[in-house]
Structure 1
Amino acid sequence: MEGDKASTRKLSLEQVETQLATPSGIPDVLRRYSRHELAHIEKKLVRKIDLRSLPILIILFLLNILDRNAIANARLGGLESTLAVDDVQYQTAVMVLWAGYISMMVPSNMLLSIFKPRLYLPTVVIIWGIVSGATGFVQSFGGLVALRFLVGVTEAPYFPGCIFFLSCWYTRKELPSRIATFYSGYTLSSAFGGLIAAGIVDGLEGAGGYPSWRWIFILEGALTIVIAFLGYILLPNYPSNTTWLSAEETAMAQWRLDRENDGVRDEVKTPVFIGLKEALADPKVYLLVFIQTCAVVSMSFTYFFPSIVNTLGYPRVETLLLTAPPYFLAFLFSIANSWHSGRSGEHCFHIVAACMISFVGQIISMSTYNTGGRYFAMFLQAMGAFSAFQIILSWVSSTIPRSKAKRAVALALATAVSNATNIATAYLYPAWSAPLYRMGCIVLAVALLCCATSSLLLRFWLKKLNREADHAVSHEGIGNGPGALFRYVL
């Protein structure tokens, strides 16, 4: 009996897959291939999905952030003076986008779990490009607020939709690096946004009778609309209904995710409201939402970054140029940290380390008037906060792997609730608190500590659940009952 238990614990992945019953075992169309040939098919599939989906998703996300942050760059181009907007009204215009944003996240992901991403995602991109471009023609504070709200509504489906979409194609080991690669669109757009705005402010002031800030909205919105049409051509749908995959690739795309989920099919058509109920009933979802909320708060300085850099005392074009280097470093660090997280299969300590880097940046930023020291702090703030956030996204997906509808709702809830904090954080950087912005720095530093502490708590919880699963396997054997094969990623 003891010998049987020992052999059960030592079963290889190949033996386990053989024991699993159809349909969660190797699909019929793949049974004739050797293990080496299966690995080749899988590698070819992943490379094809990478090349078809990641570049266009990144570019569209880059445009998403360009359009969202255009107001921060437009501020230096004269938006406030043209529209007679004061400091509090500007902060309200920043805040109202998030009111629209959070209203659509959960409904959108519930729909995306059953609709085709290749049609759904590019369509919402075109709509937000139109709305954002129209902001360049507003004539009053009321018009600015109305259009910024609509930008939030129309942008809301894209980001959580893309994270959910990636979770439907990539394994838990692959997902962190893919999310990091996708999220690089955020850091790169934040960097390029300053460079593009610098060129527009310097070269298009008065063009067509418009102040330069209007051209920031008009040109970036038009570019978004044009690029979005590529999504209809390039993006896949889901593993079961992507027409340009071969029969073997379709089977492999589904099977490799099924084997991570105890053989449970990832694309079972769970009704969207059942997925909502499942997500709300899982206590892990609430802790994940809190962790991501803290991470979002820690990044709220980005919506005022040009104004923060402006306190260094340089002219407006040089100021916009100086916003780029911190984001470029954040991009490089985030890719490296997320890649290592995926390779090592560990999330928690990678998040904690990133939080501590950004925490140090916040402390330095509010403690010194030295120009070099404050600019150095901006590098630390960006690289830590961005890196922590994108690893958390992959942790949400791997901790709530099934059903597909539940995972979609969990990702949308985490994103919606966390982004709701932007309604309050839009007021953390009033002009009177310059140049140190201590109120904002203190709030962000506390959020980073909460994010790190909660991540450690979640790790302890998941480790306990893994021990319980191991205990169940040692008594019942791998084949007895669902859940015996699944282990949470720490």
Structure 2
Amino acid sequence: MSEKDKNAAELQESATPLPYGLNSTERTKKKSVWSWLWDSLDYTNNITNAYVSGMQEDLNMKGNEYNYVVTAWTVGYIIGQLPSALLLNHFRPHIWIPFQEIGWTVFTFALAGAKNWQTLAGLRFIVGLFEAGYWPALYWLLGSWYDKRELGKRSALLQLAVQVAPMFSGYLQIAANNGLNGVGGLAGWRWLFLINGIISFPLATLAFFFLPDDPARTGTLVFTKEELELAKDRNIAAGRAEATPWTWRKAWNICKSWEAIAFIFYSTMSIVVQSSLIFWLKKQPTVYSSTQVNAIPTLTNGVVAIFLLVFGWLSDGPFKGKRWPIIVFSAIVAIDVALLYVPLYGHASRRLPLYIFSATGSSITPLVFAWMNELCAGDSEKRAFIVAGANTMKYITTTWFPNVFFQQKHQPDVPNGIKASAIVGGFCIINILVILLVSTRQAKNGKKVEQIPAVEEPTDAVP
């Protein structure tokens, strides 16, 4: 074994905190997480906040038209996922990701001028198309820099942005309603879209210069040459492969791999209870003001944010990189919460705590994606494809699932949706246990193969 490989292996074995040089890698990744925090304001939640803050009345939205607008974004998001994963190997991430950010920022500005729900739906479709590759690309990048004892916490920080951003969206809507409503002849909900765009545009510009690529392609603007060499050595020790060109054969082999089948199938079942809290609050205008309707749902995001940090720390720390125990535990909690909803439908006032804890199941998302990155470390394209494919399938499910079980015209009384979520959660647990069984067997077989002496011609190649 070469001296370089020995040093990399020793670094991996020690599992100690990063030297100061690579701490700049961690700082830069945190910058990308904060970028995601603000960019996440362009997600479905700004539509929800706008809907309950005057958009419904201004655009005369009726029936399930709100669902159609949300679904339009989801359809664009689904269509753009896999093409973006393929392009990630052809365009460096610090170019491709900001390009997407600027694209959705432009059309987020345009949302402020929508005159009817059809225009709103069309613009949201384009926003979803641009946003499609952003989230999977960041998860792929995290999997390109961090090892098994680090990836859970970093993935949790990324998902934390997804949970915290809607809190800011709610607060921004409150500020827009109170301070900007009517300014320039625009309603407060229109100002929300303008503010989102104003925040996103400068961050996208900065990302062109400061967002890191994977270690093999990152330049020295952010890192020194020594830091990049250390990062590459860590990847060698972790068995992580660099990107290679796509071929049809490679794509087919990835599609039929057990990892792709298992995780993409899991994503069709990763349904958490769809919270009806904001609609429940809006249905009681004499009890809750518009400010409270926008502010109270942020408690859910705060609770999930706490679970994200706790689960990420436990997974990387005491559980030593094992993801499945916490995933199964969280799924069981989510199922129990769903089952408790049903008997309380006759007692609306008692639903608030369950509404707040209903999204706890989403706390396992970063651990699932960390597990994907780890099991596919030896194939960069497989990592990118499965992360994007699983995310695509998840959103395909969320396209039809709410429209069937959580229809807007029935909100907030959707007991059938609660029951369906509990059943799907049970299948989700079974799927996770199957992934555990197969990956454990594969790891054992891999160790057996490593122990078989090589029968190659005598050379001084690395064994």
1:249 equivalent to 2:224? Answer no
| 1:242-295 deviation per Cα after TM superposition (whole angstroms, max 9, x unaligned) | 22233332222112112222xxx6215242645422320202211111223322
Which residue in 1 is equivalent to 2:117? Answer: 141
Which residue in 1 is equivalent to 2:459? Answer: none
Structure 2, unmatched stretches of 5+, are 457-463
Alpha-carbon distance change, 91 to 467 in structure 1, aligned in 2, over 3 angstroms: same
1:282 equivalent to 2:282? Answer no
| 1:284-310 deviation per Cα after TM superposition (whole angstroms, max 9, x unaligned) | 211111223322x326x26x6522443
Alpha-carbon distance change, 95 to 471 in structure 1, aligned in 2, over 3 angstroms: same
Which residue in 2 is equivalent to 1:310? Answer: 282
* Cα pair 2:331 2:429 within 8 Å, conserved: yes
* Cα pair 2:109 2:194 within 8 Å, conserved: yes
| 1:399-430 deviation per Cα after TM superposition (whole angstroms, max 9, x unaligned) | 12222112111111111111111211342323
Alpha-carbon distance change, 331 to 275 in structure 1, aligned in 2, over 3 angstroms: farther
Which residue in 2 is equivalent to 1:444? Answer: 421
For the residues of structure 2 that align with 1:285 and 1:22, how far apart are their CA atoms? Answer: 35
* Cα pair 1:292 1:392 within 8 Å, conserved: no
* Cα pair 2:160 2:305 within 8 Å, conserved: yes
Which residue in 2 is equivalent to 1:467? Answer: 444
Amino acid at match of 2:180: L
CA drift at 1:197: 1.5
1:91 equivalent to 2:71? Answer no
For the residues of structure 2 that align with 1:185 and 1:272, how far apart are their CA atoms? Answer: 35
* Cα pair 1:66 1:189 within 8 Å, conserved: no
1:223-372 equivalent positions in 2, closer than 5 A: 223-244=199-220, 245-261=223-239, 266-271=241-246, 273-295=248-270, 297-298=271-272, 301=274, 305-311=277-283, 313-343=287-317, 344=319, 345-368=321-344, 369-371=346-348
| 1:78-122 deviation per Cα after TM superposition (whole angstroms, max 9, x unaligned) | 212211221211111111111110111111011112321112111
* Cα pair 1:338 1:387 within 8 Å, conserved: no
Q: TM-score, normalised by structure 2?
A: 0.89
For the residues of structure 2 that align with 1:22 and 1:285, how far apart are their CA atoms? Answer: 35
* Cα pair 1:289 1:414 within 8 Å, conserved: yes
- SS of match in other structure, 2:115: coil
* Cα pair 2:36 2:162 within 8 Å, conserved: no
For the residues of structure 1 that align with 2:139 and 2:326, how far apart are their CA atoms? Answer: 19
1:105 aligned to which of 74, 78, 81: 81
* Cα pair 2:63 2:409 within 8 Å, conserved: no
1:213 equivalent to 2:185? Answer no
Alpha-carbon distance change, 333 to 480 in structure 1, aligned in 2, over 3 angstroms: farther
For the residues of structure 2 that align with 1:254 and 1:273, how far apart are their CA atoms? Answer: 28
- SS of match in other structure, 2:145: coil
Alpha-carbon distance change, 273 to 203 in structure 1, aligned in 2, over 3 angstroms: farther
What root-mean-square deviation, in Å, do the aligned CA atoms of Structure 1 and Structure 2 show? 2.6
For the residues of structure 2 that align with 1:409 and 1:62, how far apart are their CA atoms? Answer: 26
CA drift at 1:59: 2.9
For the residues of structure 2 that align with 1:274 and 1:74, how far apart are their CA atoms? Answer: 46
CA drift at 1:380: 2.2
For the residues of structure 2 that align with 1:392 and 1:318, how far apart are their CA atoms? Answer: 34
Q: TM-score, normalised by structure 1?
A: 0.84
CA drift at 1:466: 2.4
CA drift at 1:40: 8.6
Aligned residue pairs total 447
For the residues of structure 1 that align with 2:364 and 2:34, how far apart are their CA atoms? Answer: 19
For the residues of structure 2 that align with 1:48 and 1:352, how far apart are their CA atoms? Answer: 34
* Cα pair 1:102 1:420 within 8 Å, conserved: yes
For the residues of structure 2 that align with 1:96 and 1:350, how far apart are their CA atoms? Answer: 33
Alpha-carbon distance change, 346 to 163 in structure 1, aligned in 2, over 3 angstroms: same
Alpha-carbon distance change, 61 to 155 in structure 1, aligned in 2, over 3 angstroms: farther
Identity fraction in percent: 19
Amino acid at match of 1:332: I
| 1:456-484 deviation per Cα after TM superposition (whole angstroms, max 9, x unaligned) | 1211222222232343345x15x789xxx
Deviation >6 Å, runs of 4+: 38-41
Amino acid at match of 1:102: I
CA drift at 1:323: 0.8
Amino acid at match of 1:407: R
| 1:48-75 deviation per Cα after TM superposition (whole angstroms, max 9, x unaligned) | 1111122233333442244432111111
Amino acid at match of 2:425: L
Alpha-carbon distance change, 140 to 272 in structure 1, aligned in 2, over 3 angstroms: farther
Alpha-carbon distance change, 168 to 305 in structure 1, aligned in 2, over 3 angstroms: farther
Which residue in 1 is equivalent to 2:26? Answer: 50
Amino acid at match of 2:291: V
* Cα pair 1:130 1:222 within 8 Å, conserved: no
CA drift at 1:233: 2.6
* Larger deviation, residues 172-181 vs 444-453: 444-453
Alpha-carbon distance change, 315 to 136 in structure 1, aligned in 2, over 3 angstroms: same
Alpha-carbon distance change, 432 to 325 in structure 1, aligned in 2, over 3 angstroms: same
For the residues of structure 2 that align with 1:207 and 1:469, how far apart are their CA atoms? Answer: 65
For the residues of structure 1 that align with 2:81 and 2:11, how far apart are their CA atoms? Answer: 41
Alpha-carbon distance change, 216 to 35 in structure 1, aligned in 2, over 3 angstroms: closer
Amino acid at match of 1:277: W
- SS of match in other structure, 1:87: coil
For the residues of structure 2 that align with 1:109 and 1:340, how far apart are their CA atoms? Answer: 30
For the residues of structure 2 that align with 1:351 and 1:202, how far apart are their CA atoms? Answer: 41
For the residues of structure 1 that align with 2:185 and 2:173, how far apart are their CA atoms? Answer: 18
- SS of match in other structure, 1:286: helix
CA drift at 1:155: 0.7
Which residue in 2 is equivalent to 1:415? Answer: 391
* Cα pair 1:58 1:183 within 8 Å, conserved: no
Which residue in 2 is equivalent to 1:13? Answer: none
* Larger deviation, residues 72-81 vs 462-471: 462-471
1:374 aligned to which of 351, 356, 361: 351
Alpha-carbon distance change, 154 to 306 in structure 1, aligned in 2, over 3 angstroms: same
For the residues of structure 2 that align with 1:405 and 1:112, how far apart are their CA atoms? Answer: 9
Which residue in 1 is equivalent to 2:368? Answer: 392
CA drift at 1:35: 7.0
* Cα pair 2:338 2:358 within 8 Å, conserved: yes
For the residues of structure 1 that align with 2:412 and 2:88, how far apart are their CA atoms? Answer: 43
Which residue in 1 is equivalent to 2:460? Answer: none
CA drift at 1:361: 1.9
For the residues of structure 2 that align with 1:103 and 1:152, how far apart are their CA atoms? Answer: 9
